[in-house]
Structure 1
């Protein structure tokens, strides 16, 4: 039977000790079977286990193997498309519900860290950095938009203020989200998995779901076993493959690239990011970066539509890093990796049911650390019969990518090029 290890990322190299869970080799019965041990699946499983449900999680590789254990590690509020896009897509009541949840995911993460003593290097504070006056205007509008939904933790930064936060002269301003922040993403997933197991949940690794028998009591089959359950939660996101064809029809796997430097001298690290905030810029194809607990600069950016793995990640991301921080010209890159996320045409998540007892959430579109934790909570609520918040997300309309399966990648790349040119021209 194939064994899939973690990819060689900085996160895998610095992960907290965790057991290798055995694959499923028998027929099991559970209240809930969850497919995928990333943030969505772990969050749903943990909320359900806290309510007394017997939960079995099937993971094709290792806990946090996908985007949950490879992302930039940034706690960013709201969604990949902001609340004004939500307001244009659904009814006033549904927009009100989705807007009220836009800042809940970060609170869930912090609660999990505190309640279960998860060691994942939590730091508070996240910055949105603007290159142009148009981007700065957008950030000011975002602040007013978020305040309409009761969120008052954004602070506008002028050019002098942002230069006290980031040692970079490219930005004309930005905003500070005081309840943004950053974490070691794989250690967060491992801690949540341990919390789930402490409540009686069972996680099987190296146990890819290969077939689902739908019906009043769904059955999930793996190569060597099966799980019979009352409810099923599908949380495979970009790593679900063709298991559920209708979920693949309106989404597209994409890759993003990340590098991590060698540990920086303490004075240099402090000069780069004196407050130790994480940062993302406001371009359509944005860059994002932060310091790790051991003072490496973790820098990411770029999108590979269709989830291709570039041959030389460092050659793609290092120039971006040096454009931001030319001070790092002589610094060695010790890790580089890629990971897949699932993109939707609207850039808003896809949520829904298949029949009466199969629930899913996917398509975070590169903005998933906070949303996935919220998704787990609303799936758990819906499964228990409290579906108002789940149904608000399920009301979001979704459409196939233009060009169908064959042309969606080149057309998406062409659209990204258009928006990137607009960013460069400041229009």
Structure 2
């Protein structure tokens, strides 16, 4: 499928859409249906929760505004990065040691869920082990050492520090001074993962309706979700729209901000060149505040992403925005052609911690994974399912954390956030 065809099929014109292994078109909702659970959003969070509940024997309906995996779940860097967008030591300073230990106990589970489901449901999504966090400075390396020490106290034994001499076995770039390898991380084709999970859900009796955006949610004791042409009556509703929630529920959407990230994918590299650039076939992200991330694909392309667009803004020319950083990292790829360039939004919270809670006793939500969504969405999808099934202990840990609206309201939140990001970009450039 070429980029035009992929876009016409409803997905962004990405490498993932062009190499998706399932092009099933699911019907929109027409008329009224009933289920135990109605899930809004067929991305990782929604499908993960729906699958958890279907495995427990609940009847589930999923409403998706466009296509399964249309948002960040089908467009991201495909990196299995453990933990959260803020380190456990930051979480401890903010929320205390009890909360840090509770969140730390869950912090490897998202990656484990992915591996378990890939094996259980035979999902073909190019799963590969290994994630590498690259340091530009000695300061970043020292911070990684502290992060490793904290992680190890929480039972993560898969971390390994790498010095400059060890870099050659991981990444062929002289930009870095070292880094930290997470052997429990990895990378996947994210769209094929969520499509495989959706098929597993349907095999268990779950129903998915595409092209069916929710336009109203009744949060009462017998909640109803309405679309343009139908309605779902359920016992519980799970709101999992994330950065694509829009203004459906302003009481929660005001606490997240859509942020775009841009990705390019090169033409396939010669196998020898691909192995020379990333010898271990780990995915890589750097340690800057506004970071770059990259990896090899199954067909030996280099997929390279980075940049931010607060409020969901996008550059006019994605390749022009991202290619210079690719060439800073890999000048040996100066002549390589870029075949795909796309963008997508993730949801940012002011605290950079996922926003989880209840709108009523029957309506639950989770969003705002703040750039660490591949693993966190799987964890929180499971926790949503647990809560609906009557086991809300872990859900309540997340729901107890404080969350705030972005300062400045709708008009000024984006410019104020941009000003804040300038400060951190300057710190990255100065190495402080």
TM-score bucket of the superposed structures, by smaller chain:
over 0.9
Question: Is residue 342 of structure 2 the alignment partner of residue 326 of structure 1?
Answer: no
Match of 1:252?
257
Deviation (angstroms), 1:94: 2.8
- Check whether the contact 2:240–2:365 (CA below 8 A) recurs between aligned residues: yes
Match of 1:234?
239
Deviation (angstroms), 1:407: 1.2
Question: Is residue 190 of structure 2 the alignment partner of residue 185 of structure 1?
Answer: yes
Match of 1:79?
84
Structure 1 unpaired stretches of 5+: none
CA RMSD of aligned residues (A): 1.0
Deviation (angstroms), 1:91: 4.3
CA offset digits 1:215-234 (Å, max 9, x no partner)? 11100000100000000000
Of residues 33, 41, 58, the one that matches 1:36 is 41
Question: Is residue 73 of structure 2 the alignment partner of residue 64 of structure 1?
Answer: no
Aligned residues: 425
Match of 2:15?
10
Q: Secondary structure at the match of 1:109?
A: helix
CA offset digits 1:151-174 (Å, max 9, x no partner)? 110000000112221000111010
Partner Cα distance (1:402, 1:29) in 2: 40
- Check whether the contact 2:260–2:346 (CA below 8 A) recurs between aligned residues: yes
Of residues 397, 404, 411, the one that matches 1:399 is 404
Structure 2 unpaired stretches of 5+: 1-7
Q: How does 1:8-407 map to 2 (within 5 A)?
A: 8-407=13-412
- Check whether the contact 2:22–2:192 (CA below 8 A) recurs between aligned residues: no
Partner Cα distance (1:219, 1:422) in 2: 48
CA offset digits 1:154-211 (Å, max 9, x no partner)? 0000001122210001110100000110000000000000000000000000000001
- Check whether the contact 1:261–1:332 (CA below 8 A) recurs between aligned residues: yes
Match of 2:3?
none
Partner Cα distance (1:211, 1:150) in 2: 43
Q: Secondary structure at the match of 2:57?
A: coil
CA offset digits 1:360-398 (Å, max 9, x no partner)? 100000110000000011111111111111111111111
Q: Secondary structure at the match of 1:230?
A: strand
Partner Cα distance (2:181, 2:97) in 1: 29
Deviation (angstroms), 1:7: 1.1
Deviation (angstroms), 1:148: 1.1
Deviation (angstroms), 1:39: 0.2
Tell me whether 241-250 or 394-403 shows the greater mean CA deviation: 394-403
Deviation (angstroms), 1:18: 3.2
Q: Secondary structure at the match of 2:423?
A: helix
